[in-house]
Amino acid sequence: MSNESAPAIVVGIDGSHAATYAALWAIDEAVSRDIPLRLVYVVDHLEPAGSGAHVAQEGAAHAALYDVYRAVDATGRPVKIETEILWGRPLTKLMAESRSAVMVCVGSIGLNHARRGEGSVAGTLAGSALCPVAVIQAPAGGAAVPAISGVVAEVGNGSVLRHAFEEARLRDVPLLAISSGLTTASDVDDGNRLAKKQLERRLARWTRLYPDVEVDSEVIRGHACTYLAANAKPDQLYVADSHAAQVCNVYSAACSVLTVRIGNL
């Protein structure tokens, strides 16, 4: 039994391949902070304790945790792994985990499916959790480990940008900073140049703080959600304010998403 109050990177495990990918993605998060990787399987218990179905649920939970434990251990990374089975509603239990977790990670499918009328567990968790939540896309082409090729974030909130720069630095990938500034085709000339300069000025502080991060910037037309729907790639990580992410439903985009709850960092 692990200490639930200790800081950790928590990963929701449910037996899906997506959950395994989320755990593998989360290794860097745990190693970089020197904290445990906590694998949690939440059994949505509908069967009476002691019944055959109840025992089968517990057995499936142990098997799923063991498989993910082996996958993480096989990477050879110096990470402490904790596992635990919890009983109750997945969303409720993962929300409770978010009180002490540094980050909660889940797969983009699996826990994302509707359970007992909760709707999207991953989406609801990401919008309401008390810590950052990563919803990880399974890697393209059947890759064994999910790799991030770049980080994307909308310029506007310093907390979101800080997390975006930290992720880009951690994974040694470039950061694309986007800003909604264009509304019509006529904006593309002088308006675009002005918006670009304003965007670069807003980024100047961050590029000084993170000189090792390669940064590109782009002024986009319309809302960031529209841009993301048209341009997101499975190996990108989009960092966003959790409220904005909920409004736009960015979890349906073809990329991994890290949501940051503003004011709880």
Give the tens place of pLDDT for each residue, 59-109.
999 999 999 999 999 999 999 999 999 999 999 999 999 999 999 999 987
Q: What percent of the chain has pLDDT over 70?
A: 83
What does the pLDDT look like over 115-155, one tens digit per residue? 443 446 777 888 889 999 999 988 766 666 778 999 999 98
What's the pLDDT at 149? Answer: 93
Mean pLDDT calculated for residue range 26-50: 88
Mean pLDDT calculated for residue range 172-186: 77
Query: What would the DSSP string read from start to end of the chain?
Result: ---TTS--EEEEE-SSHHHHHHHHHHHHHHHHHT--EEEEEEE---SPTTSHHHHHHHHHHHHHHHHHHHHHHTTT----EEEEEEES-HHHHHHHHTTT-SEEEEESSSTTS--TT---HHHHHHHH-SS-EEEEPPPGGG-SS----EEEEETT-HHHHHHHHHHHHHHT--EEEEEEEE-SGGGGTHHHHHHHHHHHHHHHHHHHH-TTS-EEEEEEES-HHHHHHHH--TTEEEEEEHHHHHHHTGGGSSSEEEEE-TT--
Q: What CATH number does domain 150-260 carry, 1.10.540.10, 3.40.50.620, 3.40.50.300, 3.40.190.10?
A: 3.40.50.620
What does the pLDDT look like over 226-257, one tens digit per residue? 888 888 888 999 999 887 777 677 777 788 99
Amino acid at position 179, single letter? S
Q: Where are the domains of the chain?
A: 8-136, 150-260
d(C-alpha 201, C-alpha 221), whole Å = 19
Same fold yes or no, 8-136 and 150-260: yes
What's the pLDDT at 238? Answer: 94
pTM for the model stands at 0.87
What's the pLDDT at 141? Answer: 64
CATH of domain 8-136: 3.40.50.620
> In this model, does residue 265 exceed pLDDT 70?
no
What's the pLDDT at 217? Answer: 92
